[in-house]
Structure 1
Amino acid sequence: MLAVFKTGGKQYSVKSGQILKVEKLNGSQGDSVYFNDVLAVSDASDHTIGSPLIKGAIVEAKILEQIRDKKIIVFKKRRRKNYRHTQGHRQYLTVLQIESISVGNKKSKTPTKEVKKQDKVAKNSSKEEMKKAAPKKKAAPKKKAAPKKKAAVKKTTVKKKAVKKIG
């Protein structure tokens, strides 16, 4: 199922399970976000276009992380006036994963991977076998420290005092 929704002054075309970056939304990692401003929904056989919005259509997404976009350099210059101004800008973004798209009673969910318990047990048992099969290494005997060299004897020199000339 495909949906077009509006957020942050932009329109996004998404499918279930898709990951996208949008303008910053309030919420923390793992929170669910619902978008009601759905402009169009398309299924394999049915296409619905709102005028301007579809009533009862919701796009559900999960916040994966809050990030900042790459830096954009803003450079202003006025010729012949010796005016140059450089400034950088990084936009705050929210990374979303689309969980489901629903119109009234129809709902499209993200396909989730189901791991069977037998697979988990097999993985755990193989790890245990690997631990048992690997022989334990004996602690290597500590090496004796190399004998220290004697410090070289320094020669001392006596400085002569400066003689003051009277005159």
Structure 2
Amino acid sequence: MTYAIVEASGTQIKVQPGYFYDLNRLHVDEEGNYTFDKVLLINNDGEVTVGQPYIEGATVQGTIQRHLRGRKVIVYKMRPKKNYRKKRGHRQELTRVMINSISVNGSVIAEAESTDAEAVTPEVVETVSE
């Protein structure tokens, strides 16, 4: 199992090729490519490389799938016996990113498995009516 820990949108997140992740809003167009260059750690089938603080030449390639908003969070403030109540709502702006590959010094060490449309399409079975 190959994975990397990257720093993106002010957070550190563990990513694997072929999976998608919701991050704080990235200012990139949808369906565009995005490169994470702040890679903190790479685990390539048990071989661990740790950066200080980042690994030189390591990148993680991803594709922006869409921008969305997270679930609503209710913030309720109250002080008893003081008639003080505030109710506020908040929805976080998110970006969904599909991770395509992890590479070190230009060579790809892990890549998402591609699914061909022809391989996924079921065969058409002809029926003969009598």
Indicate whether the TM-score tops 0.5: yes
Cα deviation 1:54-110 (Å, max 9, x = unaligned): 011101111111000010001111121100000100000001110111111331211
Q: CA deviation digits over 1:104-153, x for unaligned, max 9?
A: 13312111023448x86x84xx48x57xx79xxxxxxxxxxxxxxxxxxx
| Structure with larger RCO (C-alpha < 8 A, sep 6+) | 2
**Aligned residues between the structures:** 127
With over 3 angstroms needed to count, the CA separation of the structure-2 counterparts of 1:72 and 1:45, relative to structure 1, is closer
Q: 97, 103, 110: which is aligned to 2:112?
A: 110
Aligned position for 2:19: 18
Q: TM-score, normalised by structure 2?
A: 0.87
Q: Map 1:65-76 to 2 at 5 A.
A: 65-76=66-77
Partners of 2:42 and 2:118 lie apart in 1 by 34
* Residue equivalent to 2:100: 99
Q: Which runs of 5+ in 1 are unaligned?
A: 135-167
Give runs of ≥4 in structure 1 deviating > 4 Å: none
The code of the aligned residue for 2:91 comes to R
Greater fraction of residues in strand = 2
Percent identity, aligned pairs only? 31
Q: Distance in 2 between matches of 1:74 and 1:80?
A: 19
Q: 2: CA distance between counterparts of 1:68 and 1:116?
A: 34
Counterpart of 1:62 in structure 2 is: 63
User: TM-score when scaled to structure 1?
Assistant: 0.69
Offset at residue 18 of structure 1 (A): 1.1
Q: Counting helix residues as a fraction of each chain, which structure ranks higher?
A: 1
Give unmatched runs, 5+ long, in structure 2.
none
- Structure 2: distance between partners of 1:45 and 1:28: 35
